[in-house]
């Protein structure tokens, strides 16, 4: 049984038993599946704190935008960044940049945030997944999701230069999609 089917089975079982846990009782419409070469990562989206960012990432995932993109900046003990079609951290989608949706959710292991330039309102398509806590990011970047399963696969993403994070022959996103769109 794949991770996705196991996850869906767990959701059905939990709902039937009346057991709802915030970390695992995810809404398939607000859950992303990030396929990496080592396995699947499930990301619970947070439309309650970043509705515009969640809408954008779902739209791009549904368009296949993220499929094949590189993890161009990966710093061990900090984060893995992707979402740039140019593969160098300078690109984005054809859609306008998004306004900041800062919250009080802390940047801890597994949190997914929107990458941006020095302009707080410049997030577009790039995002990063935290390997560890980084309090200096709190309130400075938009949190739009959290890994709820498969963090061990994120940990296996090829790391880059310890200072710059630039990765030679980087790992890529095999596929990213909204769980509700999973083909039966």
| Beta bridge partners of residue 61, listed in sequence order | none
Task: Report the number of secondary-structure helices (H) and strands (E) in the chain.
Answer: 3, 8
Structure tokens at 24: 């695992």
Band of pLDDT at residue 182, cut at 50, 70 and 90: confident
Examine the pLDDT at 147 and tell me if it is beyond 90: yes
Residue 156, domain extent: 30-181
Domain-located, residue 78: yes
Structure tokens at 10: 């767990």
Domain-located, residue 19: no
Domain-located, residue 23: no
What pTM was computed for the model? Answer: 0.86
pLDDT at 183 (0 to 100): 65
End-to-end CA distance of the chain: 13
Mean pLDDT of the 92-100 span: 98
The pLDDT tens digits for 1-41 are: 455 444 444 443 333 433 333 444 569 999 999 999 999 99
Burial group, residue 139, by CB count within 10 angstroms (0-12, 13-18, 19+): middle
Q: Tell me, what CATH number does 72's domain have?
A: 2.40.100.10
Domains of the chain: total: 1
Q: How far is CA 5 from CA 39, 107, 173, 183, in A?
A: 13, 29, 20, 11
The pLDDT tens digits for 97-144 are: 999 999 999 999 999 999 999 999 999 999 999 999 999 999 999 999
Domain-located, residue 164: yes
């Amino acid at each position: 049984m794949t991770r996705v089917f196991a996850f869906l089975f767990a959701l059905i079982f939990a709902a039937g038993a009346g057991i709802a846990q915030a970390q695992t009782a995810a809404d398939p419409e607000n859950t992303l599946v990030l396929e990496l070469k080592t396995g699947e990562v499930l990301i619970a989206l947070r439309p309650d704190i970043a509705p515009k960012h969640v809408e954008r990432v779902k739209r791009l995932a549904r368009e296949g935008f993220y499929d094949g993109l590189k993890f161009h900046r990966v710093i061990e003990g900090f984060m893995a960044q992707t979402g740039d079609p140019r593969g160098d951290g300078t690109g984005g989608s054809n859609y306008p940049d998004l306004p900041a949706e800062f919250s009080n959710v802390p940047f801890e292991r597994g949190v997914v945030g929107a990458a941006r330039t020095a302009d707080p309102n410049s997030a577009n398509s790039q995002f990063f997944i935290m390997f560890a806590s980084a309090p200096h990011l709190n309130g400075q970047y938009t949190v739009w999701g959290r890994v709820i399963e498969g963090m061990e696969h994120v940990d296996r993403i090829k790391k880059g230069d310890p200072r710059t994070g630039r990765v030679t022959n980087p790992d890529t996103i095999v596929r990213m999609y909204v769980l509700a769109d999973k083909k039966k």
